């Protein structure tokens, strides 16, 4: 089982990679926008050390496909 400190940055990285893939798809604009928004919130929570927000955002990022 991973800690939040391990899982959260790994999931941010996975979503960044996923965002790059969506940006290459001609019809991927909506998906890219949604991933970009969750990444913005995740990076803000990480910067602010907001563990409560990070827990919710981790689940949200895990739902990105």
In the structure encoding, which two tokens stand for residue 62, read together?
Answer: 């895990």
3-state helix, strand, coil in the chain (%, to 5): 80, 0, 20
The pLDDT of residue 1: 82
Q: Which residues of the chain have pLDDT under 70?
A: none
pTM, 2 dp: 0.91
Closest CA to 9 of 51, 55, 53, 46: 46
* CA–CA separation, 60 and 54 (whole Å): 10
């Amino acid at each position: 089982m991973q800690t939040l400190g391990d899982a959260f940055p790994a999931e941010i990285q996975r979503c960044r990679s996923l965002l790059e893939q969506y940006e290459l798809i001609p019809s991927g604009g909506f998906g890219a926008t949604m991933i970009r928004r969750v990444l913005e919130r995740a990076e803000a929570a990480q910067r602010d050390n907001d563990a409560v927000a990070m827990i919710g955002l981790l689940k949200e990022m895990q739902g990105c496909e």
